[in-house]
A and B are shown apart, each in its own frame.
Chain A
Amino acid sequence: DQQVKQNSPSLSVQEGRISILNCDYTNSMFDYFLWYKKYPAEGPTFLISISSIKDKNEDGRFTVFLNKSAKHLSLHIVPSQPGDSAVYFCAASGTGNAGNMLTFGGGTRLMVKP
């Protein structure tokens, strides 16, 4: 059973509008969450992260929101640009030895149309 789920396999957005990518998790021991971005023929690259003690983290056009009670996080991209078109993975890790492993969601393919 997947502990981290991204229920939307794809998302299409117009350039300049907001992109919202969602992620749900089931393991209450997760305490750190990350988003990775992946272009074709490349490895994933780190985008933004959030600790469970926060509910929001912002970095330029990217903002991650965490709702612990709902076990839900989202990534907002404003404004969206064509170069943002990629697959986005959310990932989670726990404390102690559980911090050795990252559990990934299935990914959401974002397409930003000019």
Chain B
Amino acid sequence: EAQVTQNPRYLITVTGKKLTVTCSQNMNHEYMSWYRQDPGLGLRQIYYSMNVEVTDKGDVPEGYKVSRKEKRNFPLILESPSPNQTSLYFCASRLQWGAGGYNEQFFGPGTRLTVL
């Protein structure tokens, strides 16, 4: 089954404790991205990757890191989480980047993160 998976689905942590949220897709997509969803703000893009070893900042990259060492994986790293990073996070993938037309992205099920 074609899908985007994320782990963990739920995480409660404390300020300053490094964490990683994993994301994996099995569709051989080049493009992957991370979003956070906050009430009234919709989904905002954190980082995206156009291919292996190619990443770039989205709208809200502060406090986050990413890496793309393999095509299928795109982990999101919070080196020192803070309470304002409490949010619902979605990973997404798309076949190609830069295709200004059809931009269907496939989303993972989400990771709900609480930073105390």
Residues of A in contact with B (beta carbons under 8 Å apart) = 2, 4, 6, 9, 31-32, 34, 41-46, 49, 51, 89, 91, 93-107
Contact = CB atoms under 8 A, between A and B. Distances in A.
A91 to B, nearest CB: 8
A49 B41 CA distance: 21
A102 B105 contact: yes
B10 to A, nearest CB: 10
The size class of the interface chain B forms with chain A is 20 to 34
Nearest to A33: B103
Contacts of A103: 45, 59
B90 A44 contact: yes
B42 A104 contact: yes
Contacts, number: 77
Contact of A104 (B43, B50, B101, B110): B43
B108 interface: yes
Contacts of A91: 43
A112 to B, nearest CB: 21
Given A41-B110, A93-B100, A106-B41, 13 more contacts: A32-B101, A43-B92, A46-B106, A51-B101, A89-B43, A95-B100, A98-B100, A100-B97, A101-B45, A103-B45, A104-B43, A105-B42, A107-B42
A41 to B, nearest CB: 7
A46 B98 contact: no
7 contacts: A41-B109, A44-B43, A46-B106, A49-B104, A99-B98, A100-B97, A102-B105
B42 A45 contact: no
A91 B100 CA distance: 13
A97 B108 contact: no
A111 B64 CA distance: 35
Contacts of A105: 42
